[in-house]
Structure 1
Amino acid sequence: MPELDLTATSADLTRAVCDIPSVSGDEASLADAIEAAVARYPHLEVTRDGDTLVARTDTGKAQRVVIAGHIDTVPINGNVPTRNIEQDGEPYIWGRGTVDMKSGLAVQLKLAAELVDPRVDLTWMWYDHEEVDAASNGLNRLSQNRPDLFVGDFAILGEPSNGQVEGGCNGTLRAVVRTHGVRAHSARSWIGENAIHAAAPVLARLAEYRPRDVAVEGLVYREGLNAVRIGGGVAGNVVPDLCEVEVNYRFAPNHTVAQAADHVRNVFEGFEVEITDAAAGARPGLDAPLAQEFLAAVGAEPRPKYGWTDVARFSALGIPAVNYGPGDALLAHHDEERVPIAQIEAVEQGLRAWLSPR
């Protein structure tokens, strides 16, 4: 079993965790290594649920902060093992997972071992299956199996945010818009009705759609409505009787899933619309006292998170949550995924400055 040295630098630890492959569904080796590493520290109470690890301090502090991150990655494409590179004179670590989100994971592991008596009690959560469907998400499973662990006054998710603080997140909704027709031989197309042709107004409405900018608690979230898939047709000589356009709606966190669904149905009024998947967003929660202390300690100007992240799970439980981690989200899942070492160190220093006893 590979071993992790939690006394190593956060950069070296980033390379170590990235070099243990953990594509979604194959996280056991990394989970085993994390469990063995944190079990050496008596100040941590360690719980395992599948390939999700939880490590808690219990010092009797009045407040508790949850700090979480996922241990899985998207598939590897020749970018493991990692290597050190230089770009514009700045040192980087290159390879799968360096951005999303094993550099953040490395910082968390190092601080979990180091902070024996933090200023607040800490619950560290490192979970599996984040990069796949929500039903498999380790954090979701843990919340069902061990809801008692989801107690906290504030939460931080180590998703890549360029070392800045990104509050809350947009919600996301997927829907299928269908048009129907009548099959016929394409040589006698006037006998039938072409369902693909009937979808032209659906695409026109999408092309004409203007996304809204929505202010929520001082942050401005940009929405979006886009076609992400289109399908129809049964053979090269048959007029199709069905066409499906799948759309994805990213909506501001002041809207409920029901409101988002109503909006999509209104946009495509007159067409058959099936909502196939949806997840609510998360309000920024930056007015919480702990959030204000955190922002002051790391010296960050909060920004909105446009993508959906697991901060929404904490928000739904009434725990204010933010995204804070090294790495540029634009490079997440990219074959040239890479993270500046200085950013890893800055996030480590920011968290340590906030969490260390005063």
Structure 2
Amino acid sequence: MPHLDLLADPVDLCAALVDVPSVSGEEGELASALEAALRAQAPHLRVQRSGHAVLARTELGRDKRVLLAGHIDTVPIAGNVPSRRDGGLLHGCGSSDMKAGDAVFAHLAAALDDPRHDLTFVFYDCEEVEAVRNGLGRIEREHRDWLAADLAILGEPTNGAVEAGCQGTLRVDVAVRGRRAHSARSWLGDNAVHKAEAVLRRLATYAAREVEIDGCRYREGLQAVRIAGGVAGNVVPDECVVTVNFRFAPDRDAAAAEKHVREVFDGFEVTLTDLSPGALPGLGEPAAQEFLAATGAEPTAKLGWTDVARFAALGIPALNYGPGDPNLAHTRDEHVDPRLITEAVDVLRRFLA
């Protein structure tokens, strides 16, 4: 089992985390290394293992509790493990998404033995795959008390900015029916692919909404992401399905988002296939205000879905804040600027210590 020095330079710790492969579902070795390091180097923390997730927390009786959460899994490795340094940057699978954030949190877990707020650290598994496997869901079911907090900070890559809340996401299949025929006698059929043009026209003329919540501007979007139709090279198709993704502002709940999409495609056969509600910013909460003061940053809306939504569903204000670059996530050339790691440690230390 690899040894992790949590009190070392957090940049070196990030490299050490990258060097332990942890593709979704295969995080066991890294989880065991983190668990061993926390038990040995952070005696002030109570440590709990949950599958391939590791939980740790202080129990100092403070008035407020802050939770710092980061997933330890990565997408499949693309020839980018072990880590390497090049041009002042740290390269490697997961370096940006989100082992840089994990390194910041793990370092602070060991270094802050007398924080002004009680702290909970959650290093969880299977974020990069289907939602039913996400380790946060298992932790909620089996160790719900470990997720209680006044503020949750998710270490998703934000380039050191504060991104508040997140959009919701919904997918539907819009089906168009026709009548099958031999293409040599096409007048006997009714081409469903041709008829799908009416669906695409509604998408092309759709006016996406923008809404400001807590000073953060969220932009919605309704987009076709897949079209499936056709039987054979000599057959008029009798079915065409357009898959549509709706990214919606968090002032819409799940039911309102679904209702809106069904109204847009009124008259068509619509089947809901995926739905995850968003998260309101929650910037008015005192703990969130304290964190913003420590960063000195103006928060922006999170244009995308993250696990902050899971905390929002539990009534916990949650923010995205991490040292990685979201545009580099999942790329072969994934890397992180070490200066952002150092800056994140300084900001969180200022907030927590």
Category of TM-score, reference length = shorter chain? over 0.9
Deviations 1:329-353 (A, max 9, x none): 1111122211111111100100011
In structure 1, distance between residues paired with 2:271 and 2:242:
11
Letter in 2 for 1:188: R
Partner of 2:55: 54
Offset at residue 60 of structure 1 (A): 1.1
In structure 2, distance between residues paired with 1:94 and 1:149:
33
Offset at residue 217 of structure 1 (A): 1.7
Deviations 1:38-74 (A, max 9, x none): 1112111111111011101101111111110100111
Partner of 1:114: 111
1:264 pairs with 2:235: no
Deviations 1:180-234 (A, max 9, x none): 1111111111111111111111112212223211111211101111111111122
Which of 173, 176, 183 is 1:176 aligned to?
173
Offset at residue 140 of structure 1 (A): 1.1
1:44 pairs with 2:45: yes
In structure 2, distance between residues paired with 1:339 and 1:210:
37
In structure 1, distance between residues paired with 2:86 and 2:223:
36
In structure 2, distance between residues paired with 1:39 and 1:189:
72
1:29 pairs with 2:29: yes
Deviations 1:68-99 (A, max 9, x none): 0100111111111111122xxxx211121111
Deviations 1:144-171 (A, max 9, x none): 1111112111110000111011110011
Q: Which runs of 5+ in 1 are unaligned?
A: none
In structure 1, distance between residues paired with 2:220 and 2:195:
27
Partner of 1:13: 13
Deviations 1:300-358 (A, max 9, x none): 111110110000111111110100001121111122211111111100100011111xx
| Length-normalised TM-score, structure 2 | 0.98
Letter in 2 for 1:59: L
Q: Secondary structure at the match of 2:66?
A: strand
1:293 pairs with 2:290: yes
Q: Secondary structure at the match of 1:79?
A: coil
In structure 1, distance between residues paired with 2:209 and 2:334:
31
Q: Secondary structure at the match of 2:32?
A: helix
In structure 2, distance between residues paired with 1:301 and 1:123:
25
Which of 210, 231, 249 is 1:213 aligned to?
210
Q: Which runs of 5+ in 2 are unaligned?
A: none
In structure 2, distance between residues paired with 1:55 and 1:336:
32
In structure 2, distance between residues paired with 1:51 and 1:67:
17
Letter in 2 for 1:71: I
Report 1:249-260 matches (<5 A).
249-260=246-257
Report 1:1-358 matches (<5 A).
1-40=1-40, 41-86=42-87, 91-356=88-353
Q: Secondary structure at the match of 1:65?
A: strand
Letter in 1 for 2:225: V
Offset at residue 25 of structure 1 (A): 1.2
In structure 2, distance between residues paired with 1:134 and 1:93:
29
Letter in 1 for 2:350: A
In structure 2, distance between residues paired with 1:296 and 1:318:
22
In structure 2, distance between residues paired with 1:17 and 1:150:
24
In structure 1, distance between residues paired with 2:113 and 2:217:
38
In structure 1, distance between residues paired with 2:207 and 2:84:
43
Q: Secondary structure at the match of 1:59?
A: coil
In structure 2, distance between residues paired with 1:188 and 1:25:
52
Q: Secondary structure at the match of 2:30?
A: helix
Letter in 1 for 2:165: G
In structure 2, distance between residues paired with 1:149 and 1:16:
27
In structure 2, distance between residues paired with 1:11 and 1:149:
28
